Chains A and B, each alone.
Chain A
Amino acid sequence: MDDERSIRLLCRVNLRASGMEVLEADDGHAGLELARREQPDLILLDVMMPGLDGWSVARELAADESTKDIPVIFITARADPADRRQGEQLGGVGYVVKPFDPVGIGQLVEDVLTRLARGERDQLRRGIATEHEQ
C-alpha cells in the first residue's frame, strides 16, 4: 500500500521474483478494502499517504475482526525514533525506512512470516523501536 507508483512497482517486481503474489493499493481507503476482501498474508504499508495515512490504516486493520491478525510491515520515509515507537504501538512487525533495498524485500517478508509462525510476534514488534536503519 503506497501512493508512490515507483515504490509499488519496485516491491511488486521484487516480491514476485521471490514467488509471491502481490496486490496493490495507491491509498489507504483502497488498501483497507483490498485487505478485507483479499485477506493477504502480510501488508507492506506506507505511512505518508493522502487521505487515510498509514497509521490510520494500521489502526483500522487492528480494529477490524477480519483483518486484525494480518501482519503489517511499515515502509516509510519517516526515520524518527518517535515514528518507530508509533509503528510498534500500532502492532507492526517490521519497519523499513526509505530508501531501502527492494532486492531483499522478499527475504524480509519470508523471514517475518517464518518467525510469526514460530510465535515471535511480540519480539518482532519490540524489534521495531530498537532496530537500526538499514
Chain B
Amino acid sequence: MSVHEREDRALRLQRVAELLAEAVTPQEVLDAVLTEGVRAAEARAGAIGVLSDDGESIELLAQQGYTGPIMDEWHRFPLDAGLPMSQVVRTGEPIFISTVIERNELFPELSQRGQEGSALAVLPLAVEGRVFGAMALSFGDEVEFGLERREMKVALARQASQALARSRLYAQEHTLRQRMTFLAEASELLSSSLDYNLTLKQLTQLAVPGLADWCAIDMAGEHGEIVRLAVAHEDPEKVRWAYELQERYPPKPDDRFGVPQVLRSGEPEFLPEIPDEIIEEAIGDDEELRLIVDQLGLRSMICVPLSARGRTLGALTLIAAETHPTYTQADFELALELAGRAAVAVDNARLYGEAEKGANAAQALAHIADGVVLLDKEGVVRHWNPAAAAITGVDEARALGKPVDEVVSAWGALTSHVPLAKPGASGVRPVTVPLVLDGRELWVAVSGVDFGEGTVYALQDVTDERALEKTRSDFVATASHELRTPLAAVYGAVRTLRREDVELSDEYRMTFLEMIESEALRLSHIVDQILLAGQLDADAVELSLSECNPAEIAAGVIESASVHLPEGISLSLSADGASSIMCDENKLRQVLVNLLDNAIKYSPDGGKVGIRLEQTGGTCQIEVADEGLGIPHSEREKIFEKFYRLDPQQTKGVGGSGLGLYICRELVERMDGRLSVESEPGVGSRFTVALPARR
C-alpha cells in the first residue's frame, strides 16, 4: 500500500470522524456511517443492526447499497440465527470473509443468496466492552482482507460504535425527557378540572403524535357496555372516520383482544407487533373492513386499564401505525404510568361528584320541613334529619346507629299501618296516624319506601292541619244541625197543611203559614251567616274602609229597630262628642244591628235598650246596653264562639244561627277594633265596640 493510499485512507477516516462528530440523532449517525463510512471502507453496501431490548434478537436499523427488500426480510432476526451478524454480536469478534465459497461454508443459510456481496466484513459495535450491535460491509467480488484493511474497518466500526452509542444515549435521554415532560403535562391536565370527560379527551390529544398515531380512551359503562370517550389522531378527518368505524363495528364486550379484554380482566395488553392472527380474527370475512384495516396500517398496540381502588374504570389505547415506531417496554411502562394517573383523576372526580351529591342531599334533608328517617335492613337508624328530631323530640345524636324501636318506643304503632312503596312508585299516599310522645299528642302523616337496602320514612307533623280540619268538619256538622231545625219546621208545616184526613182550623192554617214564612227567613239568615263565617274563617272578607260618622250609623240602626219593637222595650241613642272614624260602614251597621237585636231578644221582660257613643283618647266606643237576662260569668267568652248559644230557648223568630256574636267580633277585629262584654245576670249586658278614632 502506497503512502498516498494510506494518506487517502486516513483522510477518508478523518472525514467520517468529522461527519460523525456533527451527527446528533441516531438517524444522522446511521446516515453518516452508511454513506461516508461505506465509501471510506471501499464497500459496495453496508447495514447496521442492533441488539433488541430483550437481548434475544437483532433489529436492522438501516442499510445502504443492498438491492431487494432486505429491510423487510431481515428487519428482525434471532440472536442465535446462523447469520454473520448474529455470530458477531454473540462473540464480539469481527468476521472477514473473502469469497462466496468461504461464506457458504461458514454460513450455509446464505448459500442460496447468490453472489451478491459475497466478500463480507461484519464488525461488532461495542462501547466499554459491551457489544450492542454489528455493522456489515459487503464488497464486490473477492477481497483480500489484509491487516491494514482489517484495521481500517475495525477503526471505522469503533468510530461508528461511539457515535451510535452516544446518539442513542442522547436519543434515550431525549425520549426520557419528552416522556417526563409529557407525564408532567398530562398530570397538570388531569388535575386541571373535575370534568374528567374533558380532561381525558384533552389527554388523548396530548398523546398524539408524540406517543402514538392513535390514542383512544374507552370507559366501562354501568351495564357492561363500552363507551368511547375520545379518539385522537393528528388528522381530524381521520378522527371522524374512526368514530364512524366505531359505530359500524362496535367492540363486543366478549372480544378476546383489545379494550373489551382489558376492561374485563383489568390486565394490560401489550403487542409490540400486532400478530396477523389477531387482525385476521378481527376482520373475519369482511372485505370492506380488511381494506380499512390495511389502510390503517396498525403495527403496534398498548392497551392499559384505568384502574382505581380495584375497579377498572376504562382503558387507554395507544396505537403505532403510519409514523410512530413500534412500541418498546419503556413505552408500555409510560402508558401504565399515564393510565394510573388518569384513573386516579377519574376516580377522584367521581368521588368528589358523589361526595358533593351526598353533601347536597344532606343539606336538602337538613332544611326540609318533613322528617326523613332512613333505616337499614336491621331497622337501625342511619339518617335522622332535624325535622325528624323536631317531630319526635329525639335529637340526631341519640338516634343514629340505634334500633328505631329503642329511639321511639311508639315507632311500631306509628308505622305498622304504613304500606311500604317500591322506589319510584307513584301515588304514595301518606297515612295519618295519632302518636303520643312524652305526653304530647301528635298527628303524623307517614309514608315509607322500601329501597331494598333499607327503608326511608317521611314524617310530617299534621297536628295543626288535623285540628283545622276537625274545626272545619265540626263547623259543617254544626251548620247542618242548625239548618235541620228550621227545615223541619218548614217541611213539617207544609206536610201538615196538605193533610186531607184532618180538618185544620183557620187559625192553625194561619199559624203554619206564618211558621213557614219565619222559618224560611231564619234559614236564609242562617245560610247568610254561615257563608259570612266561612269567609271570615278563610280570611276572604273584603273591607272597604272609609271615613264614616258612627253617630249617623247608630241612629239608622235605632230607627230600623223601632219599627217592629216588642212591647216594653224603649230605645235610646246618645252620641255626644263622637267624631268620625275609619271603618267599613256596612260592616259596622251589621255589627250594631246584630248587637241591638240580641239586646232586644234577651230582654224578654222589656226594659231600656240603648246605644251610646263616646270618644276617649284615640278610641271611639260604641256601647249597646240592655236591662235583660244578662250573661253568667262562665259564659262571657264562650258566647263569641261559633254556634255557641247562651239560651236557644229565647231565640225566637229570625236569627239564632249561633254565629252572630262570632261574626260581630271577627268583623270588629278586622277593622282594628275590639268587641267586649260586661254583664250581670238579671241586671243586663253591655257590649262595647271600640274602634280607632280618626285624628
Where the two chains meet, the residues of A that have a C-beta atom closer than 8 Å to any C-beta of B are 3-7, 9-10, 13-14, 17, 26-27, 48-50, 77-80, 97-103
Which residues of B sit under 8 angstroms from A7, Cβ to Cβ? Answer: 485, 488-489, 492
Q: Which of B488, B492, B502 contacts A77 (CB 8 A)?
A: B488
Apart from A3-B649, A5-B652, A48-B648, what are 16 other A-B pairs with CB-CB below 8 Å?
A3-B648, A4-B485, A6-B493, A7-B492, A9-B515, A10-B488, A10-B493, A17-B499, A49-B648, A50-B645, A50-B648, A50-B649, A77-B482, A77-B488, A99-B487, A99-B490
Q: Is the CB of B481 within 8 A of A102?
A: no
Nearest Cβ on chain A to B482's Cβ, whole angstroms: 8
Taking CB atoms, residues of chain B closer than 8 Å to A49 are 648-649
Q: Is the CB of A78 within 8 A of B481?
A: yes
Contact with B492, one of A3, A80, A100 (Cβ below 8 angstroms): A100
Listed by A's residue number, 26 A-B pairs whose Cβ atoms lie within 8 Å are: A3-B648, A3-B649, A5-B652, A9-B511, A10-B489, A10-B492, A10-B493, A10-B496, A13-B502, A13-B504, A13-B508, A14-B502, A17-B501, A17-B502, A48-B481, A49-B648, A77-B485, A77-B488, A80-B477, A98-B484, A98-B485, A99-B484, A99-B488, A99-B491, A101-B495, A103-B496
Asked whether B647 is an interface residue with its Cβ less than 8 Å from the other chain, the reply is: yes
B189-236 interface with A by 8 A CB criterion: none
Which residues from A are CB-within-8-Å of B491? 99-101
**Which chain B residue shows the least CB distance to A16?**
B502
Tell me, in angstroms, the Cα distance from A79 to B487 when the chains sit together. 14
A75 to chain B, nearest CB (A): 9
Chain B residue contacts of A101, Cβ below 8 A = 491-492, 495
When the two chains form the complex, which single residue of A27, A80, A100 contacts B649, counting CB atoms closer than 8 Å?
Answer: A27
Cα A97 to Cα B645 in complex, Å, equals: 21
Cβ of B519 under 8 Å from chain A: yes
Query: With A and B bound together, what is the CA distance between A9 and B516 in angstroms?
Result: 13
Bound together, the chains give a CA A7 to CA B519 distance in angstroms of 11
Q: Which residues of B contact A9 (CB under 8 A)?
A: 511, 515
Shortest Cβ gap from A44 to chain B (Å): 13
Q: Which residues of A contact B515 (CB under 8 A)?
A: 6, 9
Q: A5 to chain B: which residues have CB within 8 Å? A: 652
CA distance A6 to B496 in the complex (A): 12
CB <8 Å contact, B496 and A102: yes
CA distance A95 to B492 in the complex (A): 17
> Which of B477, B488, B490, B495 has the most chain A CB atoms inside 10 A of its CB?
B488
Using known A-B contacts A13-B508, A27-B649, determine if residue A6 contacts B519 with beta carbons closer than 8 Å. yes
Considering the chains assembled together, what is the distance between the CA atoms of A49 and B645 in angstroms? 10
Q: Which single residue of chain B is at the shortest CB-CB distance from A101?
A: B495
Residues of chain A within 8 A (CB-CB) of B482 are 77
- The winner among A48, A49, A97 for most chain B CB atoms within 10 A is A48
In the complex, the chain B residue whose C-beta lies closest to that of A96 is B488
**B491 nearest in chain A by CB position:** A99
Contacts of A80 in B (CB 8 A): 477
Residues of chain B in range 455-481 having any CB-CB distance to chain A below 8 Å: 477, 480-481
**The 9 nearest A-B residue pairs measured at CB:** A77-B484, A98-B488, A99-B488, A6-B489, A10-B492, A102-B492, A17-B502, A77-B481, A98-B484
The answer to whether A103 and B499 touch (CB under 8 A), given A13-B504, A98-B488, is: yes
Closest chain A residue, CB of each to CB of B656: A4
A89 to B467, CA, bound (A): 28
Q: How far is the CA of A101 from the CA of B495 in the complex (A)?
A: 7
Residue of B nearest to A2 (CB): B485
Shortest beta-carbon distance from A12 to chain B in Å: 10
Which residue, B487, B502, B511, B645, has most C-beta atoms of chain A within 10 A?
A: B502
- Per-position binary interface string of chain B over residues 393-425, scored 1 when its CB falls under 8 Å from any chain A CB and 0 otherwise: 000000000000000000000000000000000
From A13, A48, A78, contact of B496 by CB (8 A): A13
A132–B440 alpha-carbon span in the complex (Å): 39
Return chain B residues, CB-CB under 8 Å to A98: 484-485, 487-488
Q: How far is the CA of A99 from the CA of B477 in the complex (A)?
A: 15
Tell me the nearest residue of chain A to B501, going by C-beta. Answer: A17
Provide the B644-659 mask, 1 if CB < 8 A to any CB of A, else 0: 0101110010000000
Alpha-carbon separation in the docked complex, A17 to B492 (Å) = 14
* Bound CA span A99–B481, Å: 10
| Complex: A26 Cα to B649 Cα, angstroms | 8
- A5–B647 CA distance with the chains assembled, in angstroms: 14
Hey, which chain A residues are within 8 Å of B484, CB to CB?
77, 79, 97-99
Report B-chain residues with C-beta under 8 Å of the C-beta of A27.
649
Q: What is the CA–CA distance of A99 and B482 in the complex, to the nearest angstrom?
A: 11
A residues near B493, Cβ cutoff 8 Å: 6, 10
Q: A103 contacts which of B477, B487, B495, B508 (Cβ < 8 Å)?
A: B495
Q: Which residue on A lies nearest to B486, using beta carbons?
A: A6
